[in-house]
Amino acid sequence: MPESDLKAKRQQYDDWKWMFIRTAELFEKTKVAQSDRVRIAVLDTGLDKSHPHIKMEIERVWVYDKSKRTFTKGASTNIVDTKGHGTHIVGLVLEYAHEADVFVADVDFDNEPNRDMIADAIVAAVKNKIDIISISVGFQQRVLGDAMERAIDYAKANNVLIFAAASNSGANAGRSWPARYDGVFAIHSTDTNGNPSGFNPTEFEGINFATVGEAVESSWPNHLSRSPAKLPNGKGLKGQDTKGGVDFSPDCSVEVKSGTSFATPIAASLAVFLLQYAKKNLEPKFVAQLKRYGTMQSVLKCLAGTKRGGFYYLTLRIHPDHLFGKENAEEIKRIIEAAINESG
């Protein structure tokens, strides 16, 4: 991508992110007690705890201890990230869901995502009363009844919401697993205007969700950073699994990447915002209902409005055409409660 185009896309993403965070902050004026924080788990390639962005937020981070099969405080638990992908994803969640506790699991084995490790982390997340799980790795084949599938069924049975990256091969490959399971939110990518990305898999019939996944900037381990001058022909690199193309930032502590992998934690963070909003503004019965897949789907669809290019585009904006841009706070509550009730 030409430098001028990359610079423009980075600025568009920064503006989009600023609008999301500014809108969320309007509804987050009351400080959340730690016991009331929404809990979100990120299952990916690990985490670089030494990164300055991560260190600033380490109080909110918990890390999966494989030997104990549970999560412990991040400051006291060892974890590494040899790929950078997980650090990028966790950085996004910490930025977009800044009132949430973030639980991180490394699910890579021999440099590949591992189904059994994903399963173990999902089970541990459920036992630790996680509300939302974000998964930005995927597989092109289903293994019927394997440990990962059983763990996802266990999570769904306990009303844990799962968001997973759809894949990045366009029409050349279908939606990956676990995004393909019923009851899992498969997240696709758009640009900052809600136009679907060309690398999305072909959408399924029915409801398909997408959010910004192009030129997404987030934390990147310094030990993995490379200069833009080292890229062949100045172009981005193509990742594996559900990782999209990558462009390198002049700031070695961050990287700019594209793919459904990076749209997924943003969509999951929007669900965090909705749960936190419900805890502050709605009756407990509505909060409990919102943790069900069908109910969250109904509210996300209501938030998105009319389909664009086959997808319900998820964003948070201060604009009267958007749900959380309406001036009347009671109207926002009424619309959300109606969406919850309509979901059954």
- Concatenated DSSP letters of 266-280: HHHHHHHHHHHHHHH
- Residue 218: C-alpha distances to residues 13, 48, 52, 76, 153 (Å): 11, 13, 12, 24, 31
Strands 70-73 and 61-65: antiparallel
Say if CB 223 and CB 179 are below 8 A apart: no
User: Where does residue 281 rank: exposed (0-12), middle (13-18), buried (19+ CB within 10 A)?
Assistant: middle
| Greatest Cα-to-Cα distance within the chain, rounded to the nearest angstrom | 56
Radius of gyration from C-alpha coordinates of the chain: 19
Strands 161-165 and 312-313: unpaired
Ranges of each domain in the chain? 3-342
For the entire predicted model, the pTM comes to 0.93
Tens-level pLDDT at each residue, the chain (344 residues): 677 787 899 999 999 999 999 999 999 888 888 888 999 999 999 999 999 999 999 999 999 999 999 999 988 889 999 999 999 999 999 999 999 999 999 999 999 999 999 999 999 999 999 999 999 999 999 999 999 999 999 999 999 999 999 999 999 999 999 999 999 999 999 999 999 999 999 999 999 999 999 999 999 998 887 644 333 333 332 333 333 444 545 555 899 999 999 999 999 999 999 999 999 999 999 999 999 999 999 999 999 999 999 999 999 999 999 999 999 999 999 999 999 999 87
Catalytic residue status for 88: no
Catalytic residue among 48, 51, 81, 85: 85
Give the orientation angle of helix 3-26 with respect to helix 85-96, to 10 degrees. 40
Catalytic residue among 134, 261, 269, 343: 261
Displacement of CA 310 from its chain's centroid (Å)? 20
Domain topology for 3-342:
Rossmann fold (3.40.50)
Catalytic residue status for 101: no
Pairwise CA distance, residues 34 & 196, whole Å? 37
What pLDDT, on the 0 to 100 scale, is given for residue 246? Answer: 46
Catalytic residue status for 44: yes
Q: Dihedral (C-alpha) 22, 9, 48, 23: value to the nearest 10 degrees?
A: 10
Say if CB 142 and CB 184 are below 8 A apart: no
